[in-house]
């Protein structure tokens, strides 16, 4: 992976449940780490291949390898909130498949 390909700032957020005024736990997302990554939204043939395989994926991000990123986190790129569906590790990088959260 070349450094020039990593052109997007990717913020990973961890879910930290907190109690509200009524002592009910609500999901609160806190920034965990921000790294450089290559954001590749699925389009064209790759998008239709994913839909035919019933994959609920709208894109992928590739970052340098880290061992502290988990599938229960979410990502924010350019104010878009992305749910992690799959993480595919290699020796030098992580490919993270995501679904965009609308609303």
Angle at 90 between CA 89 and CA 91, to 5 degrees: 130
Question: Each residue's pLDDT tens digit in the chain (103 positions)?
Answer: 666 788 899 999 999 988 888 888 888 999 999 999 999 887 655 555 555 555 567 889 999 999 999 999 999 999 999 999 989 999 999 999 998 887 6
SS3 for 71?
coil
Domain count for the chain, please give it.
1
What residue numbers bound the domain in which 95 lies?
Answer: 3-100
- How far apart CA 92 and CA 82 sit, in angstroms, is 23
Residue position matching structure tokens 């994926």: 57
Q: Provide the whole-model pTM.
A: 0.81
CATH code for the domain of 58: 2.40.10.270
- Give the contacts of 77 (CB within 8 A, at least 6 positions apart): 8, 9, 10, 11, 37, 39, 61
Q: Which of 38, 89, 34 is closest to 59 using CA atoms?
A: 38
């Amino acid at each position: 992976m070349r450094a020039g390909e990593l052109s997007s700032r990717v913020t990973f957020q961890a879910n930290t449940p907190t109690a509200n005024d009524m002592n009910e736990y609500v999901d609160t997302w806190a920034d965990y780490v921000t790294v450089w990554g290559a954001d590749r939204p699925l389009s064209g043939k790759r998008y239709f291949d994913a839909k035919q395989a019933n994959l609920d994926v709208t894109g992928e991000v590739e970052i340098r390898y880290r061992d502290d990123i988990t599938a229960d986190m979410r990502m924010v790129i350019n104010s878009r909130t992305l749910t992690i569906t799959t993480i595919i590790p290699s020796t030098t990088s992580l490919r993270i498949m995501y679904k965009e959260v609308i609303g």
